[in-house]
């Protein structure tokens, strides 16, 4: 993180049937389509579902840090 910057935080939830890492990457990839200046993320919560006594899916809540860019 850079010094002397201002950030805005937003929260997103990603999911995946593969892994926690895949859920994180999916959430960031989707968010980056509409949000600019993404610089960092923080994992807030990890959940999952169980089916037939096995992990069926992962769900990860992320806080994303966006560098604030005021209007000119």
pLDDT in tens, 42-53: 999 999 999 999
Residue 39 binned pLDDT confidence (cut-offs 50, 70, 90):
very high
Q: Which residues contact 4 (CB under 8 A, 6 or more apart)?
A: none
Look up the pTM and report it. 0.84
Percent of the chain whose pLDDT exceeds 70: 94
User: Binning pLDDT at 50, 70 and 90, where does residue 71 land?
Assistant: confident
Q: For the domain bounded by 7-67, which CATH number is listed?
A: 3.30.1660.10
At residue 3 the predicted structure's pLDDT band, cuts being 50, 70 and 90, is: low
């Amino acid at each position: 993180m850079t010094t002397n910057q201002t950030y805005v935080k937003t929260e997103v939830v990603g999911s995946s049937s593969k892994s926690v890492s895949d859920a994180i990457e999916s959430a960031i990839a989707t968010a980056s389509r509409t949000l600019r200046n993404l610089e960092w993320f923080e994992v807030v919560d990890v959940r999952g579902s169980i089916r037939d006594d096995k992990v069926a899916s992962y769900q990860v809540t992320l806080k994303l840090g966006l560098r604030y860019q005021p209007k000119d």
